[in-house]
Amino acid sequence: MVDEKHSSQHQLLGTPARRAVAYTAAVAVLAVIISVVFSYLTTDAPGSCATEEVFSCISVNRLILTFGPSGVLALGGIGAFIKTLRTWRVGGPWMVWHASGWVLFVLMIMFVATAGGALIVQP
């Protein structure tokens, strides 16, 4: 009987963590999918923008490649922090959602730091 009680508590404690990890993974995978799709769409022929100005060569695909995944990760992080607040108010295990929000924000910062290269046009 003690094992059943311990087992049910373990399942209750594991469920929010699984939801938070699944949420974080889903947001990160969506950002990666957007990144891969738009990086494929923005591949230009070498020298296609050699005679044009830099800003006239920037396409919508390049802008989406730069800001789309970052926006998805930012919105996902904000959503995780909102879930943190709601869970905290009812007295639930809010720390996993808090960690999820910070993981998504760190991923967003990392992506923003590296995605700016999509706007650089090689002559």
Question: Higher confidence at residue 99 or residue 10?
Answer: 99
User: Is the C-alpha dihedral spanning 65, 71, 77, 80 positive or negative?
Assistant: negative
pLDDT of 21-33, one tens digit each? Answer: 999 999 999 999 9
Task: Report residue 53's pLDDT band, with 50, 70 and 90 as the boundaries.
Answer: low
Look at the pTM and tell me if it is higher than 0.85.
Answer: no
Q: What is the pLDDT of residues 59-105, one digit of tens each?
A: 677 778 788 899 999 999 999 999 999 999 999 889 999 999 999 99
CA pair distance 61, 39, nearest whole angstrom:
8
Q: How many residues does the chain have?
A: 123
